[in-house]
């Protein structure tokens, strides 16, 4: 019996690019559908029109899309995602979109202050964006989120998600993913990191940040507790953490040596 297809929801600025580098090693090219490259609309169109034989080859779909993609698939599926501290995520999202011309919200962030960005009702994904994606409530009007959406997100996680990682605990999350899916991934380098900036927001801005994330903050606390419980179930977890950190360090050193050699001799 074939394994269910994995649907990987990539919340903006939550280590999704780093996680994709692991997916890219774990699966063959024709087993991956990267919606981040294809785009959400074209992904939906492709899945609704593609031959079933083509879809049956796919083992994982990764991208910026909300819960609900399984309705387009003929085979069984399971969801995974990473959640990040909502306050840090939204700050990172703003500066990333402001500085990177191809970013999803660049047209807004490049012309707005952070406070204006947080108050812009056109940008739905800054209004409890992680809860929206996990609940499948991406079209709920700005400011109309309610506790029902949070409850739906938690219910989806409990019933349909095999794995929920925590960005700030990426190493531990990778061990959980290894255990859940019988992977053997123990090294990586962090990707698409927004340069850290010092910020000194006034209290009104901090309050607006909390308001824009009032559901995400509760979802994140729930996910942290779930993550801790999932980690406790892994045998020899301390030894595996040592192995992961050792191999990751070796990978970074090896890559730093190999890159200039490759550039010099293998152009």
Can you count the helices (H) and strands (E) in the chain?
Answer: 13, 5
Residue 258 lies in a domain: no
- H/E run at residue 47: helix 40-49
pLDDT classification of 146: cutoffs 50, 70, 90: very high
Residue 180 lies in a domain: yes
What's the structural domain count of the chain? Answer: 1
Statement: residue 142 has pLDDT above 60: yes
Statement: residue 260 has pLDDT above 70: no
For residue 173, give the 3-state DSSP assignment: helix
13 near 100, Cβ under 8 Å? no
CATH number (domain holding residue 20): 3.40.50.300
For residue 23, give the 3-state DSSP assignment: helix
For residues 14 and 24, give the distance between their C-alpha atoms in angstroms, rounded to a whole number: 17
Residue 52 lies in a domain: yes
**What is the pLDDT, as a whole number, of residue 264?**
47
Of the candidates 117, 138, 118, 120, the residue with the CA atom closest to the CA atom of residue 129 = 138
Residue 198 lies in a domain: yes
Residue 115 lies in a domain: no
Residue 251 lies in a domain: no
How do strand 77-83 and strand 60-63 relate by DSSP bridges?
A: unpaired
**In the sheet where 32-34 sits, what is the strand order?**
32-34, 60-63, 5-9, 77-83, 161-166
pLDDT classification of 2: cutoffs 50, 70, 90: confident
29 near 202, Cβ under 8 Å? no
Statement: residue 46 has pLDDT above 50: yes
Range of 46's domain? 5-85+124-234
The pTM for the full model equals 0.90
pLDDT classification of 262: cutoffs 50, 70, 90: very low
Per-residue model confidence as pLDDT tens digits over 178-190: 999 999 988 788 8
**What is the pLDDT, as a whole number, of residue 112?**
96
Statement: residue 267 has pLDDT above 60: no
Residue 110 lies in a domain: no
Residue 239 lies in a domain: no
Strand ranges in the chain using DSSP code E only, listed in sequence order? 5-9, 32-34, 60-63, 77-83, 161-166
The predicted model gives 22-50 an average pLDDT of 89
**What is the pLDDT, as a whole number, of residue 254?**
74
Per-residue model confidence as pLDDT tens digits over 101-128: 999 999 999 999 999 999 999 999 999 9
For residue 32, give the 3-state DSSP assignment: strand
């Amino acid at each position: 019996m074939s394994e269910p297809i994995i649907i990987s929801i990539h919340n903006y600025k939550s280590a999704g690019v780093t996680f994709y580098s692991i997916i890219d090693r774990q699966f063959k090219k024709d087993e991956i559908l990267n919606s981040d490259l294809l785009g959400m609309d074209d992904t939906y169109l492709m899945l609704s029109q593609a031959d079933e034989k083509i879809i049956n080859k796919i083992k994982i779909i990764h991208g910026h899309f909300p819960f609900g993609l399984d309705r387009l698939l003929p085979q069984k599926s399971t969801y995974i995602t990473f959640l990040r501290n909502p306050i840090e995520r939204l700050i990172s999202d703003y500066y990333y979109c402001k500085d990177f011309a191809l970013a999803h919200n660049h047209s807004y962030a490049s012309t707005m202050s952070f406070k204006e960005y947080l108050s812009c009702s056109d940008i739905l994904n800054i209004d409890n964006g992680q809860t929206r994606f996990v609940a499948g409530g991406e079209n709920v009007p700005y400011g109309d989120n309610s506790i029902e959406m949070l409850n739906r997100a938690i219910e989806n996680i409990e019933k349909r998600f095999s794995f929920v990682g925590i960005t700030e605990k990426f190493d531990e999350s990778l061990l959980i993913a290894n255990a859940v899916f019988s992977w053997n991934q123990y090294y990586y380098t962090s990707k698409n990191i927004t340069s850290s900036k010092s910020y000194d927001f006034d209290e009104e801005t901090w309050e607006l940040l909390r308001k824009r994330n009032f559901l995400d903050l509760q979802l994140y606390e729930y996910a942290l507790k779930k993550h801790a419980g999932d980690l406790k179930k892994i045998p020899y977890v301390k030894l595996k953490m040592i192995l992961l950190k050792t191999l990751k360090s070796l990978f970074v050193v090896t890559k730093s040596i190999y890159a200039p050699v490759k550039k010099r001799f293998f152009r």
